[in-house]
Amino acid sequence: MKQGSSDEDRRNSIAGYLWVLSLSVGLAVGVGIGKAIGSIGAGVGIGVGAGAAVGLLLYWRFRADSGDK
């Protein structure tokens, strides 16, 4: 039973890191988009929104039980 809890904790930790990573990448891409369209605020909004969406998708899918126990 201890091993299952450890695996779950590790999976939750990695899922959190993936979410933060996708937000960071979204922010960086958003700044680039903002410079290209001439509005940093709009670009950052687009980038963070896309990063949050992708991050949540990765978070949910990574945390889900794969059934390989």
pTM above 0.95, yes or no: no
pLDDT grade for 66, boundaries at 50, 70 and 90: low
- Rounded Cα distance between 55 and 59, Å, is 6
Joined together, the tokens standing for residue 66 give 């794969």
**Six-digit token string for 67:** 């059934």
Reference 48, options 34, 62, 36, 63; nearest CA is 34
Closest among 43, 14, 49, 17 to 31, alpha carbons compared: 43
Backbone angles phi, psi at 18, to 5 degrees: -65, -40
Q: Kindly report, residue by residue over 14-62, the tens digit of the pLDDT.
A: 888 888 899 999 999 999 999 999 998 999 999 999 999 998 888 888 7
